[in-house]
């Protein structure tokens, strides 16, 4: 399989405090990797660093995406290469409709100068694929949307931009079980249409992994990967909790261990 993302000995700090401490991770095209861990374990730092957030400084290590080093690239440059981040807390943008926002995003990332009529046809096809009502295209971005609707709008953006790597930052956050199923179903439908896209799914809990099945699961603690495995690892965490890993390997969080199987 073709390597999509390789992270080697990654150290990241914010406000002069080191958060990621020698992280190693590798994933291939089309794979789904789940990233789990407690609050403060480094998951959000990891996602923001991948997208080039300027507040997060890479003090050491290398991020290689699709065979190219992206350490020095700005967020918009990374997006044009095919990285996408779905936010944990999507912002509302009053006065900007979903359709207009997505048309401008599509133009900025892909450089497509399609006519409004052709763009709307593509948009409606994507909305039909995800079973999203066409009326949402005329609403302002996330204005008055429920938590589940906001997360599904993130998946619609992903479907329109067709990234090579999608980072989903806690898509299950704050959702009830019915909304969770709808969001997970949207992710799975996107994946069916885009089988080569890699997905990094960041979550606290195992429950979304009942619906979106990962190829690998990585557990973060103290700014590093402390354990990696298959979907069964998430089930073990559900039953034993994160303390199980701390008790098993008290110092492993600072070793810079490479995920198993890499």
How crowded is residue 251: how many other Cβ atoms within 10 Å of its Cβ? 9
Question: What's the pLDDT at 190?
Answer: 95
Strands (E), 116-215: 140-141, 165-169, 198-203
Using alpha carbons, select from 259, 198, 207, 261 the residue that is nearest to residue 234: 207
Three-state secondary structure readout of 31-61: CEEEEEECCCCCHHHHHHHHCCCCCCEEEEE
Q: What is the pTM of this model?
A: 0.89
Bridge-based pairing state of the strands 165-169 and 198-203: parallel
How crowded is residue 135: how many other Cβ atoms within 10 Å of its Cβ? 9
The pLDDT profile of the chain, 262 residues, written as one tens digit per residue, is 799 999 999 999 999 899 999 999 999 999 999 999 988 899 999 999 999 999 999 999 999 999 999 999 999 999 999 999 999 889 999 999 999 999 999 999 888 678 889 999 999 999 999 999 999 999 999 999 999 999 999 999 999 999 999 999 999 988 989 999 999 999 999 999 999 999 999 998 889 999 999 999 999 999 999 999 999 999 888 888 888 876 655 444 443 343 333 3
Token couple for 205: 């809990």
CB-based burial label for 45 (10 Å; 0-12, 13-18, 19+) = buried
Token couple for 44: 């959000």
Domains of the chain: which residue ranges?
3-44+58-254
Which residue carries 């080093």 as its tokens?
A: 69
Q: CATH top-level class for 3-44+58-254?
A: alpha beta
Rg (CA), the chain: 18
Using alpha carbons, select from 182, 243, 245, 241 the residue that is nearest to residue 206: 241
């Amino acid at each position: 399989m073709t390597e999509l993302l390789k992270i080697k000995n990654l150290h990241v700090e914010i406000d002069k405090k080191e958060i990621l401490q020698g992280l190693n991770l590798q994933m291939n095209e089309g794979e789904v990797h789940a990233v789990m861990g407690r609050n403060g374990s480094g998951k959000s730092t990891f996602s923001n660093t991948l997208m080039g957030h300027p507040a997060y400084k890479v003090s050491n290590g290398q991020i290689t995406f699709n065979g190219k080093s992206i350490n020095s690239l700005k967020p918009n440059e990374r997006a044009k290469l095919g990285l996408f981040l779905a936010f944990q807390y999507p912002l509302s943008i009053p006065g900007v409709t979903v359709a207009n926002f997505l048309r401008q995003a599509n133009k900025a990332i892909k450089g497509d100068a399609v006519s409004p009529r052709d763009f709307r046809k593509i948009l409606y096809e994507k909305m039909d694929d995800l079973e999203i009502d066409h009326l949402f295209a005329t609403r302002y971005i996330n204005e008055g949307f429920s938590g589940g609707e906001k997360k599904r709008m993130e998946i619609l953006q992903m479907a329109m931009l067709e990234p090579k790597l999608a980072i989903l930052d806690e898509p299950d956050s704050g959702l009830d079980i019915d909304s969770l199923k709808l969001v997970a179903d949207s992710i799975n439908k996107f994946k069916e249409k885009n089988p080569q896209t890699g997905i990094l799914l960041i979550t606290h809990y195992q429950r979304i992994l009942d619906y979106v099945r990962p190829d690998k699961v990585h557990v973060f603690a103290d700014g590093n990967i402390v354990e990696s495995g298959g979907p069964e690892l998430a089930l073990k965490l559900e039953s034993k909790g994160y303390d199980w890993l701390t008790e098993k390997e008290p110092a492993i969080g600072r070793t810079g261990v490479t995920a198993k199987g890499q």
